Amino acid sequence: MTLTLTVHRGTRCIGGSCIEIRDGDDRLILDVGRPLDAPRDAKGLLPATLDTTLPATVLFSHSHMDHWGLVEELPPAWPLWAGEKSAELIHLSTELFGGRLDRDIHTWTSRSGAIDISGFSVIPILTDHSAFDAYMLLIEKEGRRILYGGDFRTHGRKSSLVEGMITSPPAAIDVLILEGTNLRTDKPVINEAEVEDAFVDLGRETRGHVFVQWSAQNIDRTVTLYRAAKRTGRKLVIDLYGADVLRRIASGTRLPLPGKSFPELKVVITPGGRRLYTRQGRDAFVAEMATSPFATSRKRLVGDKAFIMTRDSMLDDFEKAGLGFTAEDAYAFSNWSGYLDVDDPKSGWARAQAAGSKTVKVHTSGHASPADLLRFAEAMKPAALVPVHGIAWDDPGMAFPAVRRLSDGETWKLP
Ligand SMILES: [Zn+2]
Ligand SMILES: [Zn+2]
């Protein structure tokens, strides 16, 4: 049989990744992501070259939508696989807006070792990324080894996992499928410990609250903020959604979880949050949170000093209860800056500025820097490197080894 590799989407864009490895009738699909620029209700987004009339098995590298977001368009008979906690986050994301994913997802863990999946040997390798429970996938068939790097970085709280691979790389990699999100950006990336220090400084110099806008699914950041809160004698206040995320993934981990062991962690229930969960039919969850000892209210927070999870949609609820921004407060935007429009008067940023609060951006990328990508690629010593998840792979001056440039939908027969 002949092993072939097809990147259905992703050779020249970031997000919407879809990659196929095929050996005769055996087909593995790595990620079926939603393009980042697709309108929310858009349907029919599967890449045209992905044949859905034949059997296949799908592996999701991690829980970011640009890697699994087209799951509902896949043939119902195709088995799906993901990391155990990633599967939980995928379900949570579909349920959040009242949907429901009526599909089973088979799961692996970081200790699974080699799994036989439709004739391929698949080794999931836990990696460092802004999505929790993200994996690289080492795939073997017919004596060939393909390493799919997924999305990764070397400066998060799990950096030692990737550094360990660089020090002792898997032997004899025939193909490395590598992301290149941060190519063409020359900003240095800071590590998550430096982000924590920046929040500690902010907590110390701020007399009032520190409002922070971050993604509840960016667990590294949640841990960073929890630690910064503890170091500055503050509480970390998350909303119902933040609490939901932690409860769904924290079992078997050392993650902070609302409860006795983490007294600095509080949950605030806003009318908007309550509506979101009532709409999902989860009144029991709201009631459980509301009556727990770690619940707090907007009113009780007014006189307190905390790091408070904030989203633009929560600001009116905060304001109505007297928890609006003041000149004593700080507002930190802790997401990718592309998501922030500082000129939008409804944004937390603009509203904080109007109130005289200090505004800062505190963030680090979920993806490796160009220098770290190169270091990783060189250490893996692949016979061929297939670029994906990037827009700058064709820029002059790239020094990556053994590049095999494919086009979307082009099928490459491995030599
Ligand atoms: Zn991605
Ligand atoms: Zn990602």
Residue range 275-306, pLDDT digits in tens: 999 998 999 999 999 998 899 999 999 988 99
Q: How much distance in Å is there from the Cα of 366 to the middle of ligand 2? A: 7
Query: Which tens digit of pLDDT belongs to each residue from 36-90?
Result: 999 988 999 999 999 999 999 999 999 999 999 999 999 999 999 999 999 999 9
Closest ligand to C-alpha of residue 36 is 1
Domain count of the fold of the chain: 2
Q: What is the pLDDT of residue 86?
A: 98
DSSP string of 132-169?
TT-EEEEEEETTEEEEE--S--SSSTTHHHHHHHHHSP
Which residues line ion ligand 2, judged by CB < 5 Å?
A: 64, 131, 151
Parent domain of 229? 192-361
Q: Are residues 357 and 378 in the same domain?
A: no
Long-range contacts of range 248-252, CB-CB < 8 Å, 24 or more positions apart?
248/85, 248/88, 248/89, 248/92, 249/85, 249/88, 249/89, 249/132, 249/133, 249/219
**Residue for token pair 């349920």:** 95
3-state secondary structure of 3: strand
User: What is the 8-class DSSP label of residue 308?
Assistant: E
Residue 204 is encoded by which pair of tokens?
């110390």
**CATH number, domain containing residue 266:** 3.40.50.10710
What confidence tier does 258 reach under pLDDT thresholds 50, 70, 90?
confident
- State the Cα–Cα distance between residues 380 and 49, nearest whole angstrom: 29
How far, CA to CA in Å, does 414 sit from each of 60, 121, 150, 224?
23, 17, 20, 43
pLDDT surpasses 90 at 397: no
Q: Which helix (H) or strand (E) holds 32?
A: strand 26-32
**Residue for token pair 């997802």:** 105
Closest ligand to C-alpha of residue 133 is 2
Q: How much distance in Å is there from the Cα of 45 to the middle of ligand 2? A: 19
Q: How much distance in Å is there from the Cα of 247 to the middle of ligand 2? A: 21
Q: How much distance in Å is there from the Cα of 64 to the middle of ligand 2? A: 5
Closest ligand to C-alpha of residue 134 is 2
Last residue of a domain, one of 318, 340, 361: 361
**CATH number, domain containing residue 179:** 3.60.15.10
Yes or no: say if 376 and 180 are a contact pair by the CB < 8 Å rule: no
Q: What is the pLDDT of residue 63?
A: 97
Residue 56 is encoded by which pair of tokens?
């296949």
Q: What is the pLDDT of residue 96?
A: 83
Q: What is the pLDDT of residue 293?
A: 87
Q: How much distance in Å is there from the Cα of 99 to the middle of ligand 2? A: 22
DSSP string of 393-409?
TTSTT---TTB----TT
What confidence tier does 23 reach under pLDDT thresholds 50, 70, 90?
very high
Q: Are residues 86 and 14 in the same domain?
A: yes
Last residue of a domain, one of 361, 383, 405: 361
Span 3-12, average pLDDT:
98
Q: Are residues 241 and 303 in the same domain?
A: yes
Q: Are residues 348 and 371 in the same domain?
A: no
Q: Are residues 108 and 254 in the same domain?
A: no
Q: Are residues 165 and 286 in the same domain?
A: no
**Residue for token pair 């619940």:** 295
Q: How much distance in Å is there from the Cα of 175 to the middle of ligand 2? A: 21
Any alpha helices (H) in 130-238, and if so which ranges? 159-167, 192-205, 219-231
Q: Are residues 302 and 379 in the same domain?
A: no
Q: How much distance in Å is there from the Cα of 66 to the middle of ligand 1? A: 5
Q: How much distance in Å is there from the Cα of 303 to the middle of ligand 2? A: 38
What confidence tier does 337 reach under pLDDT thresholds 50, 70, 90?
confident
Q: Would you give the end-to-end CA distance of the chain in angstroms?
A: 12
Q: How much distance in Å is there from the Cα of 64 to the middle of ligand 1? A: 6
Q: How much distance in Å is there from the Cα of 152 to the middle of ligand 2? A: 7
Interhelix angle 219-231/240-249, rounded to 10 degrees, is 110
Q: What is the pLDDT of residue 13?
A: 97
Q: What is the pLDDT of residue 376?
A: 98
Q: How much distance in Å is there from the Cα of 38 to the middle of ligand 1? A: 14
- State the Cα–Cα distance between residues 172 and 145, nearest whole angstrom: 7
Q: Which amino acid is at 361?
A: K
Q: Which candidate, 253, 280, 258, 260, places its Cα nearest to that of 268?
A: 258
Span 101-111, average pLDDT:
95
Q: How much distance in Å is there from the Cα of 204 to the middle of ligand 1? A: 35
Q: Are residues 105 and 165 in the same domain?
A: yes
Q: Which residues contact 309 (CB under 8 A, 6 or more apart)?
A: 212, 213, 214, 216, 236, 237, 238, 239, 242, 268
Last residue of a domain, one of 344, 361, 378: 361
Closest ligand to C-alpha of residue 17 is 1
Q: Are residues 356 and 372 in the same domain?
A: no
Environment class of 169 (CB within 10 Å of its CB; exposed 0-12, middle 13-18, buried 19+): middle
Q: How much distance in Å is there from the Cα of 405 to the middle of ligand 1? A: 19
- State the Cα–Cα distance between residues 330 and 103, nearest whole angstrom: 43
Residue 326 is encoded by which pair of tokens?
């003041």
Q: How much distance in Å is there from the Cα of 65 to the middle of ligand 1? A: 8
pLDDT surpasses 90 at 211: yes
Q: What is the pLDDT of residue 98?
A: 73
Chain mean position to CA 392: 22
Closest ligand to C-alpha of residue 181 is 1
Q: How much distance in Å is there from the Cα of 15 to the middle of ligand 1? A: 5
Q: Are residues 230 and 116 in the same domain?
A: no
Q: Are residues 200 and 215 in the same domain?
A: yes
Q: Are residues 283 and 387 in the same domain?
A: no
Phi, psi of 80 (to 5 degrees): -115, 145
